[in-house]
């Protein structure tokens, strides 16, 4: 700055002396620069937009032609299949029965108005019958036995390999020398090929159809650069002159191009140094795009798509003049308005800046005092209102913080609030008391600095390593933590803002030592009483089975229907009581982590079939439709037969109990994602959404208030035990339900190979 000339220093100081000059001068310079750039860019864009549009139209026309070539080939292929598969055609070829062939195939070519020729040849390539249309009409001619097509490459390939791919032959018509595209396929019987069918269309008619779809002129060239056929109306001499730009070299370039559909390029007129992008036909200029003419993966030439270009120059020149004029006027107007507006903005902005600086320093009594009707005035009023609201909010926040602190301190459970880094933000006295009982150092450290290890009492104190027990919990998840003789219940939840952003997490600790001890005593009591009841129940069940056996062995004994009903009732009630006691024993084993499974290879389909047999009669008595859908092949899993049978029994029983007649119960078995899956679907009363999350917990039974199902028996352990059994088999269990629309209970087990060497010990 010191080395600059004096006049330049003065100029810089003048322009940077106030905020108004800092806004106005850059704005003016930027406007001028953008104006110049805008005029340059837009004029060039306008000039090039028509060119780009023409190229895009050419590309699109090329794609349309390519797609329609495939569709036309598909049409010929469909008609060839109709000819080859028409009943009686093969026999007529064998018998050389032209009358029968004519009767069978004449309706085909009459109905297929887009097909111009059908030829039937025998296995020697000799013509048996030929249909063809006149070029510019619908009249059909029929010839027989006059042609030898054995020299045609496509015919030879089809006859040599009847089961191979269809072939294409581009040939001249036999009566009018018009080019025809034939699709060639074999005609076969059970003993083998008996001949071939050729279905063709005139090439010039093909191009006429493609022209109507692409809305462009089309020309087809051979590998010598010569015109095969064109939609341009011109004679041979005009074609040679107009298309001398297409040479064998250009043909090769098109085929070697990496472009998928078309090949756009400049063309050099032979014997001239001038490079031209267009083709002139009768004083009309056209732009060309090229693409290979391919049929069934084989190149039969190159076609050119041509669009007129005369409109580009006129439209570009006219648009350029108007755009420059309009843009120049707009720039001058914007500059003038912007200059005036910027001057009105700068003064009140300075006032806002001074006020905001005072407020940021802590003086909340400052106000801008601006009274204007424009946006600056609205901003100033909003700023003053915001400052007033901020004063009130600070006061309210202090009051609320005091209330929340009092509430938090009065909560009997321990509450710990952490930020996103795991630092303790808030800890109430109850939390401090709980943590101090397991380690006095914990209250002074962050939870993330505690390592994950087994909780072991140390000399003189119990030091708890709680990090992975208190953090990483799912939302609303409750976890029990045992530390020596102390048991804690830890639950975690996310701390979210009103817009859903996470601010941290909160952990609630509760001393549940007494509840855990009471739970253990209850479990021991259940275990003891279950085993004690099992012994007399076994004796009762045995005596009842003996009575039933005596009835079956001596049906003539003096025992009435009432006694028989009593024996059957006793058997049912004893079995129900035995199931309840077994469920209590299983519950005790699950809680103790001692639920064992004796695994062996099991066909899940066979197990399902066996378990559903006992339900057939019950379903029929209740007027329920019972369906069993099994796969065609066995579904092998490694499992405990008796425990899996109990799972299936529990799920079917629930579907039976909670489905009103007339209803439906379906059992489906399938293999999916390497697992054997069982779905039990019913059309029953369904389960309320608020009850679904408790379904797989102990002693919970969903109640449907509008039906008698709320009185159904059971201890509420079936689903809890069933899920534990499935998970012990490394499987999963889940459900879906809607009230009054039924439920679907499913479980899946890993599929095994029953012949694997790893399973020989089972």
Domain residue ranges in the chain = 86-206, 216-308, 364-410, 411-511, 518-591, 600-759
Please state the rounded mean pLDDT for residues 256-262. Answer: 72
Looking at 98-102, 200-204, 696-700, which range is the least confident one?
696-700
pLDDT attached to residue 454: 34
Model confidence at 171, pLDDT cuts 50, 70, 90, reads confident
Report the SS3 class of residue 204.
helix
DSSP letter (8 states) at residue 458 = B
The CATH number of domain 411-511, selected from 3.40.50.970, 3.30.450.20, 3.90.226.10, 3.40.920.10 = 3.30.450.20
pLDDT attached to residue 710: 44
Model confidence at 265, pLDDT cuts 50, 70, 90, reads low
Looking at 383-397, 564-578, 675-689, which range is the least confident one?
564-578
Model confidence at 446, pLDDT cuts 50, 70, 90, reads very low
Residue 295 and residue 170: Cα distance in Å, rounded? 10
pLDDT attached to residue 456: 35
Residue 24 and residue 437: Cα distance in Å, rounded? 70
* Residue (of 105, 67, 71) closest to 88 by Cα position: 105
Domain formed by 518-591, architecture:
Orthogonal Bundle (1.10)
Model confidence at 545, pLDDT cuts 50, 70, 90, reads confident
Task: Report the CATH number of the 86-206 domain.
Answer: 3.30.450.20
pLDDT attached to residue 26: 67
* Residue (of 330, 83, 88, 87) closest to 196 by Cα position: 83
Please provide the DSSP assignment of 117-175 as one string: EEEEEETTSBEEEEEEE-TTS--EEEE-S--B-TT-HHHHHHHH-TTS--EEEEEE-TT
Give the model confidence (pLDDT) of 8-64 as tens digits: 667 666 656 555 566 666 666 676 677 667 666 766 665 567 677 778 888 888 888
pLDDT attached to residue 21: 60
Model confidence at 550, pLDDT cuts 50, 70, 90, reads confident
Model confidence at 554, pLDDT cuts 50, 70, 90, reads low
Please tell me if the domain spanning 86-206 has the same topology as the one spanning 600-759: no
Please state the rounded mean pLDDT for residues 113-122. Answer: 91
pLDDT at 721 over 60: yes
Please state the rounded mean pLDDT for residues 514-535. Answer: 67
| Higher local confidence (pLDDT), 616 or 271 | 616
Model confidence at 271, pLDDT cuts 50, 70, 90, reads very low
Mean pLDDT, the chain, integer:
77
pLDDT attached to residue 525: 65
Q: Most confidently modeled of 8-12, 306-310, 534-538, 558-562?
A: 306-310
Are the CB atoms for 339 and 332 separated by under 8 Å?
Answer: no
Please provide the DSSP assignment of 52-77 as one string: HHHHHHHHHHHHHHHHHHHHHHHHHH
pLDDT at 610 over 60: yes
Model confidence at 445, pLDDT cuts 50, 70, 90, reads very low
Give the model confidence (pLDDT) of 611-670 as tens digits: 899 899 989 999 999 999 999 999 999 998 988 998 999 899 999 989 999 999 999 999
Domain 600-759 class in CATH: alpha beta
Residue 126 and residue 360: Cα distance in Å, rounded? 102
pLDDT at 705 over 60: no
The CATH T-level fold of domain 216-308 is Beta-Lactamase (3.30.450)
Which residues partner with 187 through β-bridges? Answer: 195
Give the model confidence (pLDDT) of 359-405 as tens digits: 777 777 777 777 776 677 777 778 777 878 777 887 787 788 788 88
Residue 141 and residue 133: Cα distance in Å, rounded? 6
pLDDT at 451 over 50: no
């Amino acid at each position: 700055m010191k080395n600059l000339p004096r006049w330049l220093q003065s100029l810089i100081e003048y322009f940077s002396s106030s905020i108004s000059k800092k806004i106005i001068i850059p704005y003016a310079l930027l406007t001028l620069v953008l104006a110049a750039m805008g005029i340059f860019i837009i004029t060039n864009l306008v000039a090039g937009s028509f060119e780009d549009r023409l190229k895009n139209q050419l590309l699109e026309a090329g794609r349309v032609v390519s797609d329609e070539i495939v569709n036309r080939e598909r049409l010929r292929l469909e008609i060839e299949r109709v000819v080859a598969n028409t009943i009686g055609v093969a026999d007529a070829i064998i018998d050389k029965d032209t009358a029968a062939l004519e009767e069978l195939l004449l309706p085909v070519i009459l109905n297929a108005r887009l097909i111009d020729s059908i030829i039937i040849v025998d296995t020697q390539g000799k013509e048996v019958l030929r249909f063809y249309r006149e070029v510019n009409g619908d009249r059909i001619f029929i010839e027989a036995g006059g042609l030898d097509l054995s020299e045609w490459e496509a015919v030879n390939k089809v006859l040599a390999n009847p089961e191979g791919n269809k072939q294409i032959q581009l040939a001249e018509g036999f009566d009018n020398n018009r080019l025809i595209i034939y699709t060639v396929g074999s005609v076969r019987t059970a003993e083998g090929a008996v001949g071939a069918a050729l279905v063709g269309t005139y090439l010039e008619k093909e191009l006429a159809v493609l022209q109507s779809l692409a809305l462009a002129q089309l020309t087809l060239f051979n590998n010598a650069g010569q015109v095969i056929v064109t939609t341009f109306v011109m004679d041979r001499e005009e074609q040679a002159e107009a298309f001398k730009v297409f040479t064998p070299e250009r043909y090769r370039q098109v085929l070697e191009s990496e472009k998928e559909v078309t090949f756009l390029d400049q063309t050099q007129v032979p014997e001239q140094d001038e490079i031209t992008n267009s083709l002139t036909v009768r004083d009309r200029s056209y732009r060309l795009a090229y693409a290979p003419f391919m049929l069934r993966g084989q190149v039969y030439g190159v076609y050119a798509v041509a669009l007129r270009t005369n409109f580009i120059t006129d439209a570009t020149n006219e648009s350029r003049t108007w755009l420059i004029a309009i843009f120049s006027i707009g720039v001058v107007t914007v500059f003038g308005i912007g200059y005036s507006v910027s001057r009105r903005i700068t003064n009140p902005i300075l006032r806002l800046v001074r006020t905001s600086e005072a407020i940021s320093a802590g003086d909340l009594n400052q106000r801008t005092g601006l009274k204007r009707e424009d946006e600056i005035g609205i901003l100033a009023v909003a700023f003053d209102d915001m400052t007033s609201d901020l004063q009130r909010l600070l006061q309210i926040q202090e009051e609320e913080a005091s209330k929340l602190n009092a509430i938090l301190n009065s909560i009997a459970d321990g509450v710990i609030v952490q930020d996103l880094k795991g630092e303790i933000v808030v800890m109430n006295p109850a939390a401090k008391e709980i943590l101090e009982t397991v380690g006095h150092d914990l209250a002074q450290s962050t939870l993330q600095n505690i390592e994950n290890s087994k909780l072991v009492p140390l000399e003189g104190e119990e030091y708890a390593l709680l990090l992975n027990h208190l953090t990483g919990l799912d939302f609303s998840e409750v976890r029990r933590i045992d530390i020596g003789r102390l048991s804690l219940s830890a639950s975690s939840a996310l701390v979210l803002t009103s817009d859903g952003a996470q601010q941290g997490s909160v952990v609630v600790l509760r001393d549940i030592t007494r509840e855990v001890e009471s739970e253990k005593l209850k479990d021991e009591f259940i275990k003891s009483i279950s085993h004690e009841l099992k012994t007399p129940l076994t004796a009762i069940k045995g005596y009842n089975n003996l009575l039933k056996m005596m009835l079956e062995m001596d049906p003539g004994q003096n025992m009435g229907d009432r006694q028989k009903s009593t024996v059957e009732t006793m058997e049912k009630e004893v079995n129900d009581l035995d199931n309840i006691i077994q469920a209590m024993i299983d519950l005790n084993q699950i809680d103790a982590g001692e639920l064992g499974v004796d695994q062996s290879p099991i066909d899940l389909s066979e197990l399902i079939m066996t378990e559903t047999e006992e339900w057939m009669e019950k379903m029929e008595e209740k007027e329920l439709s019972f369906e069993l859908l099994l796969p065609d092949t066995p579904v092998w899993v490694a499992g405990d037969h008796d425990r899996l049978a109990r799972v299936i029994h529990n799920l079917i029983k629930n579907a039976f109990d909670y489905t009103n007649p007339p209803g439906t119960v379906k059992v489906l078995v399938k293999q999916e994602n390497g697992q054997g899956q069982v779905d039990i679907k019913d059309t029953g009363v369904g389960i309320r959404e608020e009850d679904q999350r408790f379904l797989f917990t102990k002693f919970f039974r969903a109640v449907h208030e509008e039906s008698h199902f709320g009185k159904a028996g059971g201890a509420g352990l079936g689903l809890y035990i069933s899920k534990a059994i499935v998970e012990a088999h490394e499987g999963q269990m889940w459900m879906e339900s809607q009230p009054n629309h039924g439920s679907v209970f499913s479980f899946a087990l890993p599929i095994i190979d029953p012949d694997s060497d790893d399973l020989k010990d089972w």
